[in-house]
């Protein structure tokens, strides 16, 4: 009869568990798009610069030294490395959840039942019958081990661990993406520093030319060929450029300190070679094919790991609707006197139990967790698609930018050469009174600005190549 009752209750529990399992909300299960173009701008080149090691991509030894120092000392990068350690520890914690928990320990205490309680009445009755007095308080000593294990029937715990693994891999890709950004930022600042050095040198040379022209104008004034207005205009131009010189020097200091901050050190001079800046030829860049972009860009891989983790989180949330089986047990010794504590088998105690539980009523919290996991999975799909689209657009824009800057530099170089020659011609003509002083002044001004712009375009060329290198996923390996 008792066995039939047990079976009946077990059957009711299983039916209730099956009923709760059938009441799970539906998941959206959105999949990522797979319609990415096969090539970039009709280019079938399968070589990608994103796979080139940074030590082979950058030829400037001073720049490489700065990058290596930054990878060791940059505070933001070191913060991310600690986040990786946290994610690795989370994997360890999740792995421990689906393994049995075993605790060992001991306890000591005392217990005194009240006279008018169940146990107190039994003690008093036994004292009357046997004449043996009971102690006022009964000691209790226990020593043993306890076991607790949730059987991972629905792979909830293992899926949770695997989801944590993907999150850990995502943090590594996040670190790699941070490295690509850090390498690029140092290169940008380094090339800006070289450009500022060259602009400062151009400005100083131009000031010297203008001062020479000012002396000529003063002599012309003494000869009565020009007025005081010409002298004042040339003096104003010299003063303007001398003032501009201090502005560039301030920008040099700021660029140096920006590099010092990125490499994790206090302000100090940055070692560099600026004299050959205009002769630097940007490295040739190869975009490859879009499928290589998916494999090389850390931010895309990070988004992909996030998507894989989100899908497993849905399975974990779904498993919360199913029954969970927990096995508990213990073995040890218990006695009221320490000298009897390890008496076997008199003082030995043990127990074993299995518990099957399933949510039946008021499952709103579980349902909300499931719906949130589902929404985050859809969100992860969109994040992945956004990362892929952003990468494709970056590559397309970068290729066009490199090509256009190459053409722009070529024409600007021709302009500089023409204006540089015109300075000498205009000065000669002015000396022989065949040209107005304004022509000399404007020619010098135009030549200065064209040289400044040439340096700026060269910097943009180098930065465009670095940006393309980062866009293709280079710099972290």
Q: How far apart are CA 229 and CA 439, in angstroms?
A: 14
Give yes or no: residues 219 and 245 share one domain. yes
Give yes or no: residues 341 and 427 share one domain. no
Under a CB-based contact definition with an 8 Å cutoff, are residues 146 and 103 in contact?
A: yes
**What digits encode the pLDDT tens for the residues 324-349?**
889 999 999 998 888 888 888 888 99
Confidence (pLDDT) at 115: 75
The closest alpha carbon to 224, from 443, 433, 442, 425, belongs to 433
Count: domains in the chain: 2
Confidence (pLDDT) at 246: 97
Confidence (pLDDT) at 1: 47
Residue 13 belongs to some domain of the structure? no
Residue 256 belongs to some domain of the structure? yes
Confidence (pLDDT) at 259: 97
Give yes or no: residues 328 and 457 share one domain. no
Ranges of residues in the chain whose predicted pLDDT is under 50: 1, 6-7, 9-10
Dihedral angle computed from the Cα positions of residues 205, 210, 213 and 215, in that order, rounded to the nearest 10 degrees: -100
Residue 241 belongs to some domain of the structure? yes
Confidence (pLDDT) at 8: 52
**pTM of this structure:** 0.84
Give yes or no: residues 184 and 56 share one domain. yes
Give yes or no: residues 442 and 347 share one domain. no
Give yes or no: residues 269 and 143 share one domain. no
Confidence (pLDDT) at 299: 94
Residue ending a domain, among 309, 332, 357, is 357
Residue 379 belongs to some domain of the structure? yes
Confidence (pLDDT) at 275: 92
Residue 401 belongs to some domain of the structure? yes
Give yes or no: residues 297 and 271 share one domain. yes
Q: How far apart are CA 55 and CA 67, in angstroms?
A: 10
Give yes or no: residues 339 and 433 share one domain. no
Give yes or no: residues 235 and 196 share one domain. yes
Residue 477 belongs to some domain of the structure? no
Confidence (pLDDT) at 34: 66
Q: How far apart are CA 10 and CA 16, in angstroms?
A: 10
Give yes or no: residues 383 and 467 share one domain. yes
Residue 107 belongs to some domain of the structure? yes
> Which domain CATH number covers 308?
1.20.1600.10
Give yes or no: residues 307 and 331 share one domain. no
- Tokens read off for 52: 């080139």
Confidence (pLDDT) at 78: 94
Residue 6 belongs to some domain of the structure? no
- What is the SS3 assignment for the chain? CHHHHHHHHHHHHHHHHHHHHCCCCCCCCCCCCCCCCCCECCECCCCEHHHCCHHHHCCCHHHHHHHHHHHHHCHHHHHHHHHHHHHHHHHHHHHHHCCCEEEEEEEEEEECCCCCCHHHHHHHHHHHHHCCCCCCCEEEEEEEEEEEEEECCCCHHHHHHHHHHHHHHHHHHHHHHHHHHHHHHHHHHHHHHHHHHHHHHHHHHHHHHHHHHHHHHHHHHHCCCCCHHHHHHHHHHHHHHHHHHHHHHHHHHHHHHHHHHHCCCCCCCCCCCCCCCCCCCCCCCCECCHHHHHHHCHHHHHHHHHHHHHHHHHHHHHHCCCCEEEEEEEEEEEECCHHHCCCCCCCEEEEEEEEEECCCCCCHHHHHHHHHHHHHHHHHHHHHHHHHHHHHHHHHHHHHHHHHHHHHHHHHHHHHHHHHHHHHHHHHHHHCCCCCHHHHHHHHHHHHHHHHHHHHHHHHHHHHHHHHHHHCCCCCC
Residue ending a domain, among 333, 357, 381, is 357
Which residue range(s) make up the domain with 389?
A: 28-98+152-322+363-471
Give yes or no: residues 143 and 117 share one domain. yes
> Which domain CATH number covers 144?
2.20.200.10
Under a CB-based contact definition with an 8 Å cutoff, are residues 371 and 15 in contact?
A: no
Residue ending a domain, among 357, 378, 405, is 357
């Amino acid at each position: 009869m008792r066995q039939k009752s047990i079976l009946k209750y077990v059957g009711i529990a299983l039916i209730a568990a099956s009923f709760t399992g059938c009441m799970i909300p539906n998941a959206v299960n959105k999949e990522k798009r797979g319609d990415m173009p096969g090539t970039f701008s009709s280019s079938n080149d399968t070589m990608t610069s994103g796979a080139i090691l940074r030590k082979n991509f950058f030829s400037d030894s001073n720049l490489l030294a700065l990058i290596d120092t930054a990878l060791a000392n940059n505070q933001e990068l070191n913060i991310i490395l600690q986040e990786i350690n946290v994610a690795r520890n989370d994997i360890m914690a999740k792995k421990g959840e689906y393994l049995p928990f075993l605790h060992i320990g001991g306890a000591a205490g005392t217990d005194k039942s009240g006279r008018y309680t169940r146990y107190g009445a039994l003690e008093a009755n036994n004292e009357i019958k046997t004449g043996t007095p009971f102690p006022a308080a009964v000691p209790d000593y226990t020593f043993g081990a306890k076991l607790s294990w949730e059987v991972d029937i629905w792979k909830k715990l293992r899926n949770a661990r695997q989801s944590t693994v993907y999150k850990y891999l995502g943090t590594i890709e996040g670190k790699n993406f941070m490295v690509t950004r850090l390498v690029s930022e140092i290169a940008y600042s380094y090339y800006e520093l070289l450009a500022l050095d060259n602009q400062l040198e151009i400005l100083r040379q131009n000031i010297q030319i203008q001062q020479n022209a000012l002396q000529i104008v003063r002599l012309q004034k003494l000869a009565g060929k020009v007025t005081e207005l010409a002298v004042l205009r040339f003096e104003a131009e010299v003063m303007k450029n001398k003032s501009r010189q201090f502005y560039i020097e301030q920008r040099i200091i700021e660029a140096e300190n920006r590099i010092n901050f990125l490499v994790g050190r206090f302000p100090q001079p940055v070692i560099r070679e600026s004299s050959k800046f205009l002769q630097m030829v940007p490295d040739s860049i190869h975009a490859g094919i879009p499928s290589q972009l998916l494999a090389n860009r850390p931010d895309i891989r990070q988004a992909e790991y996030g998507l894989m983790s989100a899908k497993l989180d849905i399975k974990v949330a779904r498993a919360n609707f199913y029954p969970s089986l927990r096995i508990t047990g213990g073995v040890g010794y218990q006695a009221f006197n320490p000298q009897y504590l390890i008496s076997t088998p008199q003082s030995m105690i043990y127990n074993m139990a299995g518990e099957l539980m399933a949510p039946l009523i008021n499952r709103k919290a579980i349902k909300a967790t499931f719906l949130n996991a589902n929404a985050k999975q859809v969100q992860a799909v969109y994040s992945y698609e956004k990362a892929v689209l952003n990468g494709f657009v970056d590559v397309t824009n970068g290729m066009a930018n490199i090509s256009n800057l190459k053409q722009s530099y070529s024409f600007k170089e021709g302009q500089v050469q023409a204006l540089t020659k015109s300075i000498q011609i205009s000065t000669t003509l002015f000396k022989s009174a065949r040209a107005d002083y304004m022509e000399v002044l404007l020619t010098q001004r135009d030549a200065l600005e064209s040289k400044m712009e040439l340096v700026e375009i060269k910097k943009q060329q180098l930065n465009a190549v670095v940006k393309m290198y980062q866009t293709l996923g280079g710099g972290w390996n």
